[in-house]
A = this chain, B = another copy of it.
Amino acid sequence: MTNFISIHDVTDLQALIKSGLEAKENPFADQHLGKNKTIGLIFFNSSLRTRLSTQKAAQNLGMNVMVLNVGQDSWGLELEDSELGNPVIMNGDKAEHVKEAAAVMGRYCDIIAVRAFAGLQDRDKDYREQVMTQFVKYAGVPIVNLESATRHPLQSLADCITIEEFKTKARPKVVLTWLPHFKPLPQAVANSFAEWMNHNDVELVITHPEGYDLAPEFVGNAQVTHNQNEAFEGADFIYGKNWSSYTHYGQVLVQDPSWAVTMDKMRLTDNGKFMHCLPVRRNVKVTDEVLDSPQSIVIDQAANREWSAQAVLKEILQNG
């Protein structure tokens, strides 16, 4: 693995899941790998789990960690490259081009991990994944995606690890369900979860209101339905998430509270587990009753972010 931007950088998913579970058993077994190595964590956006779990995983591996909050610790970065006959003239509020910034960070860091959310204004721009693409192009060291405009692969790997731990069938039924929310949120977590589940040995069902179809390249072979109850029937895992519309890009088309997950709905499942990437708005997306029930595994899922990051960093360090 050179970079970790999406599932496409993973050669053997099952081996990576196994590596995460091994890290959980024995967190400090590979400290020699990171000795005198430095990871830079670059945040264009806020972070709690990703920030802490990646830092922790790197330290478990013996690495040094440097954190940079762009725009807060430093200044805004220009992301657009000049095109022939159309140079980018940097006379606005961005003081530095990513071309320099990424290249320089790449000289100080052995690995760079970057978080940069979708702007949700311009679909083409978001789906071009400009920040990740530019860091890969200019940094000269491995890049790890800490959630980009369209994907959150460290979350998805943690989700795979969690399903591996909690599944009671060889091929569980996994339901990705849209949840109501009043703010427009990115599609990244939902996209990424669908993409990874398409590569995992599960039966994937996606359920959402009309107008909330995810991009086809992420939906893959999943079964899609607008009937949430039908989707929940016999499910082993319910994966809740809100996302704004992809087709009516970045819009909140529906806030219908009947899409929230309740215990009544959980009873349709086969004693299914409830998963969510967090943060979750209680009693907006899902009721207290569900989150506080034994069927909720959201904390275990979040805890697995550490082992997901550790498996990825370990593989990058071994190849480096």
Which A residues are closer than 8 A to B by beta carbons?
A: 27-28, 36, 38, 40, 43, 46-49, 51-53, 55-56, 59-60, 64, 66, 68-69, 72-75, 78, 82, 87-91, 95-97, 99-101, 103-105, 107-109, 182, 278-284, 287-288, 291, 298-299, 302-303, 306
Across the two chains, which residue of chain B brings its CB closest to A87? B283
State the copy count for this chain.
Answer: 3
13 other contacts beyond A28-B36, A40-B52, A100-B291, with CB at 8 A cut-off? A46-B74, A48-B68, A56-B64, A72-B72, A78-B282, A82-B282, A90-B284, A91-B281, A100-B279, A100-B302, A104-B303, A107-B299, A108-B303
A185 to chain B, nearest CB (A): 10
Known: A75-B48, A101-B48. A108 touches B283 (CB 8 A): no
Query: Bound state CA distance, A36 and B298, in angstroms?
Result: 25
Sorted from nearest, which 8 A-B pairs have the closest CB atoms? A96-B279, A107-B303, A90-B281, A48-B74, A104-B302, A89-B283, A87-B283, A95-B279
A66 to B41, CA, bound (A): 13
**11 A-B pairs in the complex with CB atoms less than 8 angstroms apart:** A40-B52, A48-B74, A48-B101, A51-B74, A53-B108, A75-B279, A78-B282, A88-B283, A95-B279, A107-B302, A108-B306
Whether the pair A90, B282 counts as a contact (CB closer than 8 A) is: yes
A291 contact set on B, CB distance < 8 A: 99-100
Q: Provided the pairs A46-B74, A69-B73 are in contact, do residues A284 and B89 lie with their beta carbons within 8 angstroms?
A: yes
How far in angstroms is the closest Cβ of chain B from A101? 7
Partner of A75 from the list B38, B46, B75, B101 (CB cut-off 8 Å) is B46
